[in-house]
């Protein structure tokens, strides 16, 4: 069993517990549920950098990245750095995140917010809306085609944008549908944790032009972004690179300044 399989097993238990504690009606009554969402796709189309910056305390592959930076400062720093959007890890067990991180980010900036999570149940999409997300992530490797359709259509009905993450051709072919906005190619092999930009390069020609292309994982240099531009990528998800410094916002600012 690989790490992803284990995460999904744990996530099913976690979602069952959350559903027993907070009914969907309570989520739907939250102050943030009726708000207008902020579009990440528009932000990416109008951006010279395409950077989506992440708040991530730790990960299974790198253990602790940074436990000291608070979300409020990071979100404000990212916004003043001029990033296109912010990705917020909400998984507690493996990444040290929480839905409260999403609330704090929403309170401290006007950036489009991506709930970075292992979504396997419609309840998590209602949570995303209730806690301030503008975009949800769906991971093709843990969902069937029917699940991707059901979850993405629910998200769209709530005015949330959908980023679908793929790792290979098989995942791409089962996932192409009109209820998605963005296709993210994860350069990290989730079985071995090895990272290669060749994954993004290879899949770029197969992704239909209707979707904004985003490259994820292993993007730590300006060179790697410049290498991917000719392949049609408009978005680049960067987490570790900024989070491992003492000031994620300043780190993002100087990165973007050198990029554009």
- 141: tokens are 């490797």
Q: Indicate which residue of 11, 14, 54, 127 is catalytic.
A: 54
Q: Indicate which residue of 161, 171, 216, 240 is catalytic.
A: 216
Q: Indicate which residue of 186, 187, 200, 215 is catalytic.
A: 186
* Cα–Cα dist 237/260, whole Å: 16
Q: Indicate which residue of 11, 14, 43, 56 is catalytic.
A: 56
* Cα–Cα dist 136/118, whole Å: 10
> Is 150 labeled as catalytic in the residue annotation?
no
Q: Indicate which residue of 165, 200, 241, 253 is catalytic.
A: 165
> Is 217 labeled as catalytic in the residue annotation?
yes
> Is 216 labeled as catalytic in the residue annotation?
yes
> Is 186 labeled as catalytic in the residue annotation?
yes
> Is 168 labeled as catalytic in the residue annotation?
no
Asked if 222 contacts 173 with a C-beta cutoff of 8 angstroms, the reply is no
* Ramachandran angles phi, psi of 184, nearest 5°: -110, 130
Q: State the sign of the Cα–Cα–Cα–Cα dihedral 8, 14, 18, 20.
A: positive
Q: Indicate which residue of 43, 217, 241, 251 is catalytic.
A: 217
Q: Indicate which residue of 43, 49, 66, 116 is catalytic.
A: 116
Give 77-100 as a DSSP string.
HHHHHT-SEEEEE--STTT---HH
**Looking at the annotation, which residues are catalytic?**
54, 56, 116, 165, 186, 216-217
């Amino acid at each position: 069993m690989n790490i992803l399989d284990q995460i999904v097993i744990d996530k099913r238990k976690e979602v069952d517990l959350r559903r027993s504690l907070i009914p969907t009606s309570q989520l739907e009554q939250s102050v943030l549920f009726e708000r207008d969402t902020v579009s990440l796709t528009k932000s990416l189309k109008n951006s010279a950098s395409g950077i989506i910056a992440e708040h991530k305390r730790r990960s299974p592959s790198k253990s602790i990245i940074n436990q000291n930076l608070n979300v409020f400062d990071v979100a404000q720093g990212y916004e003043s750095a001029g990033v296109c959007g912010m990705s917020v890890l909400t998984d507690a067990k493996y990444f040290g995140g929480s839905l409260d991180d999403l609330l704090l980010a929403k309170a401290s900036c006007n950036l489009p917010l991506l709930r970075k999570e292992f979504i396997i149940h419609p309840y998590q999409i209602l949570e995303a809306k209730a806690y301030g997300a503008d975009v949800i992530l769906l991971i093709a490797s843990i969902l069937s085609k029917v699940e991707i359709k059901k979850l993405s259509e629910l998200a769209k009905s709530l005015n949330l944008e959908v980023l679908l993450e793929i790792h290979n051709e098989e995942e791409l072919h089962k996932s192409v549908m009109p209820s998605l906005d963005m296709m993210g190619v994860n350069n990290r092999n989730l079985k071995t944790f090895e990272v290669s930009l060749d994954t993004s390069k290879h899949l770029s020609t197969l992704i239909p032009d209707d979707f904004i292309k985003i490259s994820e994982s292993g993007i730590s240099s300006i060179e790697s972004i410049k290498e991917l531009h000719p392949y049609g990528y408009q978005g680049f998800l960067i987490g570790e690179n900024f989070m491992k410094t003492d000031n994620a916002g300043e780190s993002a600012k100087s990165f973007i300044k050198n990029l554009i």
